[in-house]
């Protein structure tokens, strides 16, 4: 069966009306949902419990609007990236399995979007920032690739993970069991958890060999170009969604990826869209895409040198607003300019998810809507 993807805004933290409308337009119910990747309002930090609320709303939705029981609802990967700084609009990206039609069957000889998911083994507090977590993420990604029917790692264009971070309670739990943790700064553990997951993804898709432990969150020359990693307090396991292309599945959708070399690299966004199969002019604008672009998924990071294209940044020294908020809002605006839509998935804390000071970009298009 082929896959479809739709994007719908979130008018408030319990708003699922857009999901209702999207499923109805596809002629399917909630049982067809295979994953949700969303931007949520909130501070995007360790204590961003809006993510917990929305996660619960979605689990109830899967159960109440379909035939899943509670265990089945908990098995659907949900990756929530908190914080809608600047112009970023809260929204859901819903991945759905749809019935085959005569139209979708015609594209079986072409590369078309496929989705796989997995839930990793439980990630212990003492494994965050260490090789134990890298290995668990890599194993989960390989499982999700198999679920998507992807044999060639080059056909993977986007891997979204949601992993645990460190809280004071989790640190205390490790100490009670006689274990040490890689760090005790809970806010910093978000970036470190993301970096550890990104390296696990890179290992699974053969971009990099197994890293040394001292490279995690430190050697920024080692990274994955398909990793989009978020972390939070929602769960102890990694929720993993692999999105790529394969032949034989049919459908209307394709995905591609590239990287932003820095926070102003709008050409990196357009290159990801071209990679998905949409032809663009040399100097593209949002209007050149028509209705073909579903969404872009972007990771971004404040350059640790404190400079952007030679100019000094002050965000790393801002004691009032954390630098992640500066960067997310700024890169979100660049992405909104490129796509013509503020409902763009822009997530910060991108250590080792793309080059230092930049980040990975994935783009999903509806090939049937590509301008002629």
The reply to whether 47 and 129 lie within a common domain is: no
The reply to whether 10 and 155 lie within a common domain is: no
The count of structural domains within the chain is 2
Which of the residues 117, 120, 230, 275 is marked catalytic?
230
Please state the rounded mean pLDDT for residues 313-329: 94
The reply to whether 85 and 120 lie within a common domain is: no
Measured CA to CA, the distance from residue 353 to residue 339 in angstroms comes to: 21
For the chain, the distance separating the N- and C-terminal CA atoms, rounded to the nearest angstrom, is 27
The reply to whether 90 and 112 lie within a common domain is: no
> 7 pLDDT band (50/70/90 cuts)?
very high
Tokens standing for residue 16? 């699922």
The reply to whether 243 and 341 lie within a common domain is: yes
The reply to whether 111 and 95 lie within a common domain is: no
pLDDT tens for 77-97 read 998 999 999 999 999 999 999
Task: Give SS3 for 315.
Answer: helix
The percent of residues above 90 in pLDDT, for the chain, comes to 91
What is the extent of the structural domain holding 296? 105-369
Q: How many CB atoms lie within 10 A of CB 223?
A: 25
The reply to whether 47 and 146 lie within a common domain is: no
Per the listing, tokens 């439980």 go with 122
Res. 45: pLDDT tops 90: no
122 is catalytic: no
The reply to whether 212 and 310 lie within a common domain is: yes
Q: Is 83 exposed, middle or buried (0-12, 13-18, 19+ CB in 10 A)?
A: buried
The reply to whether 153 and 298 lie within a common domain is: yes
Determine the distance from the C-alpha atom of residue 34 to the mean position of all C-alpha atoms in its chain, rounded to a whole number.
15
369 is catalytic: no
Which of the residues 136, 162, 299, 328 is marked catalytic?
162
Q: Which residues have CB under 8 Å from 369's CB, separation 6+?
A: 252, 290, 291, 292
Q: In this structure, what CATH number is given to the domain that contains residue 320?
A: 3.30.1330.180
Res. 125: pLDDT tops 80: yes
Alpha-carbon distances, residue 103 vs 99, 100, 107, 257 (angstroms): 11, 8, 8, 26
Res. 43: pLDDT tops 90: no
The reply to whether 65 and 117 lie within a common domain is: no
pLDDT tens for 145-189 read 999 999 999 999 999 999 999 999 999 999 999 999 999 999 999
Q: Provide Rg for the chain, Cα atoms.
A: 19
Strand order across the 33-40 sheet: 3-9, 91-97, 33-40, 78-82
């Amino acid at each position: 069966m082929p896959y479809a993807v739709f994007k719908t805004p979130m008018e408030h933290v319990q708003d699922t009306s857009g999901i209702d409308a999207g499923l109805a337009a596809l002629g399917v119910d909630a049982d067809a949902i295979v994953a949700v990747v969303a931007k949520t309002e909130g501070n995007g930090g360790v204590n961003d419990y809006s993510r917990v609320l929305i996660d619960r709303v979605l689990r109830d939705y899967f159960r109440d609007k379909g035939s899943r029981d509670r265990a089945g609802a908990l098995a659907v990967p949900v990756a929530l990236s908190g914080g809608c700084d600047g112009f970023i609009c809260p929204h859901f990206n819903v991945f759905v399995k749809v019935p085959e039609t005569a139209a979708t069957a015609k594209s079986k000889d072409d590369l078309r979007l496929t989705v796989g998911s997995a839930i990793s083994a439980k990630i212990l507090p003492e494994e965050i920032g260490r090789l134990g977590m890298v290995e668990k993420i890599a194993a989960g990604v390989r499982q999700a690739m198999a679920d998507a029917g992807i044999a060639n790692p080059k056909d993977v264009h986007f891997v979204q993970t949601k992993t645990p971070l460190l809280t004071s309670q989790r640190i205390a739990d490790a100490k009670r069991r006689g274990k040490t943790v890689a760090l005790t700064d809970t806010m910093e553990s978000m970036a470190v958890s993301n970096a550890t997951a990104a390296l696990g993804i890179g290992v699974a898709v053969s971009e990099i060999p197994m890293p040394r432990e001292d490279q995690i969150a430190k050697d920024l020359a080692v990274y994955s170009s398909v990793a989009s990693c978020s972390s939070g307090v929602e769960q102890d396991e990694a929720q993993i969604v692999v999105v790529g292309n394969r032949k034989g599945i049919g459908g209307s959708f394709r995905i591609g990826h590239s990287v932003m070399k820095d926070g102003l690299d709008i050409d990196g966004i357009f290159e990801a869209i071209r990679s998905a199969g949409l032809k663009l002019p040399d100097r593209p604008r949002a209007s050149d895409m028509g209705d073909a672009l579903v969404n872009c998924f972007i990771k971004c990071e404040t350059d640790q040198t404190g400079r952007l294209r030679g100019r000094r940044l002050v965000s790393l020294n801002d004691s009032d607003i954390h630098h992640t908020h500066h960067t997310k809002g700024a890169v979100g605006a660049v992405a909104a300019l490129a796509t013509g839509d503020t409902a763009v998935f822009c997530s910060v804390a991108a250590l080792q998810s793309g080059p230092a000071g930049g980040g990975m970009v994935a783009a999903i298009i509806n090939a049937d809507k590509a301008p002629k």
